[in-house]
Amino acid sequence: MLNKFKEFPLTYSIIAINVVIYIISSLLSHNISDMDMEVLANMGALFGPYVAFKWEWWRLFTSMFLHAGMTHILMNMFSLYLIGRGVEIYFEKKAYISIYIFSGLLGSIASLYMHPETLGVGASGAIFGTFGALAGFFLAHKGEIASQSKAFMKDFAIVLGINLVLGFSISSIDVSAHIGGLIVGFIGGFIISKNSKWIWSYSAFMIGLAIVIMNYLPNYYVSIFR
């Protein structure tokens, strides 16, 4: 077990953090299978009016580590287990972390625009970002690793199916976060695979993009709730 952790420390650490936070939320909810929405809101779930009008931007990050129930976290962590190890093989640790975080953050922002009144939680945007990163990697090196692309597509189909089921069955999950995370991860994976030094340009661009988009959020919400 220790050897496995040493081989994929980031993936297993992210899974462990999510599990610990889920245990805390289940204790506060007095229910291990379904979380109390008020508890999730207090712990940092994504909620548009709080972000737009109270400037609680930290919810973009904290919501990535919260889950609505047992099915939600099991499916997400299984997806991360499948995909995260691949990302950890092909990318440096700082690239993995950057892609994961920016995919989650931009996925959360996409969710704020598409579902302004919904309480949102989950790591799906970030996980889809890792998937996008692998897709970007394979595209950048398609001539060199064609034999591995078939295995990747198999895992892609599994995780895509899992998240589609979750998206239609759990109200606190939305596909917009998935798509946003996937695009952000794909861009990062492709760019960084071409040149690892471009990680800083990628990070700067994503930070700037997030700031620009978030600046429009209050006015957008005012028009909605007018």
Residues with catalytic annotation? 124, 178
Contacts of 24 (CB under 8 A, 6+ apart): 43
Name the residue with tokens 């991860």: 185
Amino acid at 121: V
Measured in degrees and rounded to the nearest 5, phi and psi for residue 46 equal: -75, 125
Amino acid at 173: I
How far is 96 from 219, CA to CA, in rounded Å? 34
Tell me which DSSP letter residue 47 carries.
Answer: -
Measured N-to-C along each axis, helices 124-140 and 93-114 cross at an angle, to the nearest 10 degrees, of: 120
Nearest in space to 18 (alpha carbons), one of 99, 92, 83, 72: 72
How far is 104 from 146, CA to CA, in rounded Å? 29
